[in-house]
Structure 1
Amino acid sequence: MSDTVYDLVIIGSGPGGYVAAIRAAQLGMKAAIVESGPLGGVCLNVGCIPTKSLLHAADVLDEIGEAKRFGIKVGDVAFELAGAMKHKDNVVKASTEGVAFLMKKNKVEVVAGWGVVAGRGSVHVKLTAGGERTLTAKNILVSTGGRPRPLPGAPFDGQRILSSTDMLTLKETPGSLLSIGAGAIGIEFASMFRAFGSEVTVVEALPRIVPNEDEEVSAELEKAFKRRGIKTMAGVKVEGLDTGGEKVVVSLVDSAGKPQQIAVDKVLVSIGILPNTQGVGLEDAGVTLNSRGFIETDGFLRTSAEGVYAVGDCTANTPWLAHKASAEGILAVEHMAGQSVTPIDYGKIAGCTYCSPEIASIGMSEAKAKEKGYEVKVGKFPFSANGKARAIGQNRFGFIKIVADKEYDEVLGIHMIGPNATEMIGEAAIALSHEATGASIMHTIHAHPTLHEAVGEAAHALEHGAAIHI
């Protein structure tokens, strides 16, 4: 047994785990974090941060391609994937080193190894450096995250059938790429590698791409992707992958029921995640998992086992978002500390997709609001009529859409597609968390000239049936 009793031992150092450790230290708790890999988890190492680093390279390439519009003459432009990957690696290194610094600053002990819940208040660690150690804790927080889910019958091979993690280590830009799955991950890589020079196809089993977004957003992205030369196919059933030849042959049935075959150099499978909940001792400790292996928790992130909490992508029925995991980590720790906390409203968490054009949304779509029985009103404003979007040459596609309850004017959802949408969604998050009305957003004076003006214009359309500038 350990000669130290911790207030909290955390298994996993992703954005749920390391943030929870910092908050625990701020509250005077003695915390340790057990991690078998690099600090920062998926998000910092093979997720959010590296992909956004590469997406910035894609954005720079697109900007250069448009330079002539702004009177800028550019000579021969060559893209080197190795250079973009080096930038990505440098960003990841700085980020993980930043987490290590924060652990040291907050006096959180980092134990390198594989942690297993070994009973009430006990975590057994197989140390990376050899040997074993048992940590004793008043509370345990499981933040083990998830991993890419393979296509049934076609496991990842790291060469031609690729996970999102594999995509981050490519040595050359593929001539052709097909993404199976048109959620955030598949769409971001499709957008990125089209900018890098690949011929890109995206297929989606559900009736439309980015199926979690408002239907009008899906339609607008499809138009934008078509202009960029990205082929999208929705309502598609993938029948199989043949890797026996020079190219991967993807057999599918399209939305009309017609069999097709598409031959490509690489296939990205982005159909969701599997939880990292096996081999962690959860079931033996009395932690309930759902049928898919995700951990069941209550509103305070408690599991069915006393003293064991869980946060992040390993938990059931919540969105797979890094910022959600961090919020959960803070809430769980504050609950352990006896503070008064309020369960998270998962319907008011912003989601972002960093393709070109960007997508961001929060709250209910128009269809979802109607499904829940609301009589809704909608206000929209296109970026084609926004002065700042024109000035920066980003006015071809995109809009702001506000969905509100017709009776009480409460804003139910805000949906964005267009330039800087992933930054502007912050205003929408404040609006929903503070129960804003369409009128209150309309009467908020938005600075000119900004992209944010489109939010105010959409609110004016919501309240008065028409925006000012269209």
Structure 2
Amino acid sequence: MSQTDFDILVIGGGPGGYVAALRAAQLGLSVAVVEAQHLGGICLNWGCIPTKALLRASEINHLLHDLEPYGFKAENVSFDFAKVVARSRAVSKQLASGVAHLLKKAKVPVFNGYGKLAGLTADKKRKVSVTAKEGATTTLTAQHVILATGARARTLPGLEPDGNLIWSYREALVPETLPKRLLVIGSGAIGTEFASFYRNMGSEVTLVEVAPRVLPVEDEDISALAKKSFEKQGIKVLTSAKIGSLQKAGQTVTVPVEVAGKQQNITVDTVISAVGIVGNTENLGLENTKVVVERTHIVTDALCRTGEPGVYAIGDLAGAPWLAHKASHEAVMCVEAIAGKKVHPLDPTKIPGCTYCRPQVASVGLTESKARDAGYKVRVGKFPLVANGKALAMGETDGLIKTVFDEVTGELLGAHMIGAEVTEMIQGYVIARNGELTEAELAETVFPHPTISESMHEAVLAAYDGALHF
């Protein structure tokens, strides 16, 4: 007879949910996962991982059409688009299978179905009903329930995905053919990554943003460089844009776009809507509980506790930043707090953000404007990658490293990067933020040569005594 009573039940098997279960098992707690669709969640199946596989293919295609500066020549370069897509799906499947293996190895049972809070037992344990796809229902009990159901794409009126002319990220990940003309609405991480992929595969791409600049959550200098680089690649960028009602006609769609009072009609084969996400709070049994939902996300305290005793929420469901690594960190923190361990609340300003467009973008902490708005007197350092030897040797000179320091204490308030492989380098500044390092420790750190990471050192020096190589 299978076990139905646990210390912890986790509803959702994404990067928050499965990590919570694994950590609970490590701590000797009995734990189970309830997952309705696929282990690994959106990240492994429809987000972080398959997009990176696609982007890798598009980078290769870009290089194959830009060989002359390196002394190479290739003629009649072509690709099998179906194989490009199939590879990304295979990568996702491999990782999702890996999650299943990890849970099995940790002896964590997985209940396939939709989990829902279903009241309390006589001894005050949480009841969770699990409804399988075929309709059968199982009731599980636990002292603690962690909600980790993630989020889904936001849908705006008139922009509902139809699987044909209008796509969400899901349709954009498994296209049957490469659109010749593509309009991407929204220039956050999702929008810019798809714009990069499709442009580097050969599509004509227009990127539309209602905010005054692309990548609006990033530092203004980074946004400006990103726009310049996108346009150099042939992406048409429209900011401060107002979008009218879409008009479908056969296999094309026309989108009225107004910029600076001037109206233009853009006709394309496909529109990708990348206008944000909403939390999956529906059908969780939150009625008659003290769980508070605001703007589609569950409100929690610093230790992921909701207003209902014994119920927690982590990851995208609990609000911004909507990042897989934030979900995983919250998972460990939440479980360890349940287990009675001393934990430190998560500081959002110490969570890195990464966007894998070309060139890549990465950041941590406060932007220059937000630091000034918060009352800091700042010192700012900037170092362009065109002055970096490794970037020059690689032919990847589009980029900038920017640091923001508190002039009074020397604390690194924020770091902002655009360029080749900056998503791999940002962790250096994250460690500095987490370790509360000042400019003194960073300036005295020896960076290896020749590397692009040397630019991180130069950007620190630029904020104080001055960069040595620019």
Which TM-score tier does this pair reach, normalised by the shorter chain? Answer: over 0.9
Please state if 1:253 is matched with 2:255. Answer: no
Aligned residue runs from structure 1 range 32-71, under 5 A: 32-71=32-71
How big is the shift at 1:244? 3.1
How many Å separate the matches in 2 of 1:82 and 1:21?
36
Structure 2 CA distance for aligned equivalents of residues 170 and 285 of structure 1:
42
TM superposition shift of 1:3 = 5.9
Checking the alignment, whether the CA contact within 8 Å between 2:410 and 2:440 is kept in structure 1 is: yes
Residue identity in the other structure for 1:244: A
Match of residue 333, structure 1, among 303, 315, 335: 335
Give the letter for the 1:284 counterpart: N
Equivalent residue number for residue 301 of structure 2: 298
DSSP-derived class of the 1:432 partner: helix
Aligned residue number for residue 369 of structure 2:
367
Residue of 178, 195, 208 corresponding to 1:190:
195
Distance in 1 (CA, whole Å) between partners of 2:464 and 2:352 is: 23
Contact 1:446 1:456 in 2 (8 A): yes
Pairing 1:59-138 to 2, within 5 Å after superposition = 59-120=59-120, 121-138=126-143
Q: CA deviation at 1:130?
A: 4.4
Contact 2:378 2:404 in 1 (8 A): yes
- Which residue in the other structure is 1:13 paired with? 13
| Residue pairs, 1:154-193, within 5 angstroms | 154-193=159-198
Q: Partner of 1:27 in structure 2?
A: 27
1:240 is displaced (CA, Å) by 1.5
Partner of 1:378: 380
Matches within 5 A, 1:408-427: 408-427=409-428
Contact 1:238 1:250 in 2 (8 A): yes
Deviations 1:130-175 (A, max 9, x none): 4210000010000000110112233111111110111011011100
- Contact (CA 8 Å) 1:439, 1:459: kept in 2 or not? no
- 2:165–2:251: 8 Å Cα contact kept in structure 1? no
Q: Any conservation in 1 of the 2:159–2:273 contact (CA below 8 Å)?
A: no
1:277 paired residue number: 281
Cα deviation per residue 1:264-300 (whole Å; 9 max; x = unaligned)? 110000010111110111233331111x221000001
**Residue 10 of structure 1 contacts residue 17 of structure 1 at CA under 8 Å; is this kept in 2?**
yes
% identical aligned pairs: 47
Q: C-alpha distance in 2, partners of 1:454/1:151?
A: 41
Give the whole-Å Cα distance in 1 for the aligned partners of 2:119 and 2:464: 57
The 1-side partners of 2:250 and 2:266 are apart by 13
SS at match of 1:10: strand
CA contact (8 A) 1:283 1:289 kept: no
**2:464 counterpart SS class:** helix
Deviation of residue 65 (structure 1)?
Answer: 2.1
User: Which digits, 9 at most, give the CA deviation of each residue in 1:352-399, with x for residues without a partner?
Assistant: 00001000000000000000001111111111010000111111x101
CA distance 1:2–1:302, shift in 2 (3 Å): farther
Q: What is the number of equivalent residue pairs in this alignment?
A: 465
Q: Give the distance between the partners of 2:33 and 2:424, measured in 1 at CA.
A: 31
CA apart distance, 1:4: 3.2
Task: Give, in whole Å, the separation in 1 of the partners of 2:117 and 2:288.
Answer: 8
CA distance in 1, matches of 2:353, 2:425: 12
Query: 1:2 offset after TM fit, Å?
Result: 8.4
Query: Are 2:443 and 1:442 equivalent residues in the alignment?
Result: yes
Moved over 6 A (4+): none
Superposed CA offset, 1:110-144 (max 9, x none)? 00011111113111011235421000001000000
Give the corresponding residue for 1:315. Answer: 318
Deviation per CA, 1:172-231, whole angstroms, max 9, x where unpaired?
110011111000000000001000110000111111000000000011011111110001
Equivalent AA in structure 2 for residue 147 of structure 1: R
Is the CA contact 1:183–1:211 (under 8 Å) kept in the aligned structure 2?
yes
Shift in Å at residue 245 of structure 1? 4.2
Contact 2:62–2:201 (CA<8 Å) still a contact in 1? no
Deviates more, 1:18-27 or 1:57-66: 57-66
Give the drift of 1:75. 2.7
Equivalent pair of 1:217/1:417 in contact (CA under 8 Å)? yes
**Matched letter for residue 385 of structure 1:** A
Structure 2: 5+ residue stretches without partners: 121-125
3-state SS, counterpart of residue 288 of structure 2: coil
For residues 301-320 of structure 1, what are the alpha-carbon distances to aligned partners after superposition, in whole Å with 9 as ceiling and x for unaligned? Answer: 0011110000011113x200
SS at match of 1:15: coil
Partners of 1:462 and 1:442 in 2: how far apart?
10
Stretches of structure 1 that go unaligned for 5 or more consecutive residues are none
Tell me how large the CA RMSD over aligned residues is. Answer: 1.3
Corresponding residue for residue 202 of structure 1: 207
The corresponding residue for 1:432 is: 433
TM-score scaled to structure 2, two decimals? Answer: 0.97
TM-score of the superposition, structure 1-length normalised? 0.97
Q: Distance in 1 between matches of 2:409 and 2:338?
A: 38
Distance 2:228 2:373 in 1: 26
Cross-structure match for 1:141? 146
Tell me the equivalent position of 2:344: 342
Is the contact between residue 2 and residue 135 of structure 1 (CA under 8 Å) also seen in structure 2?
no
Distance in 2, matches of 1:77 and 1:68, equals: 14
TM-superposed CA distance for 1:68, in Å, is 2.1
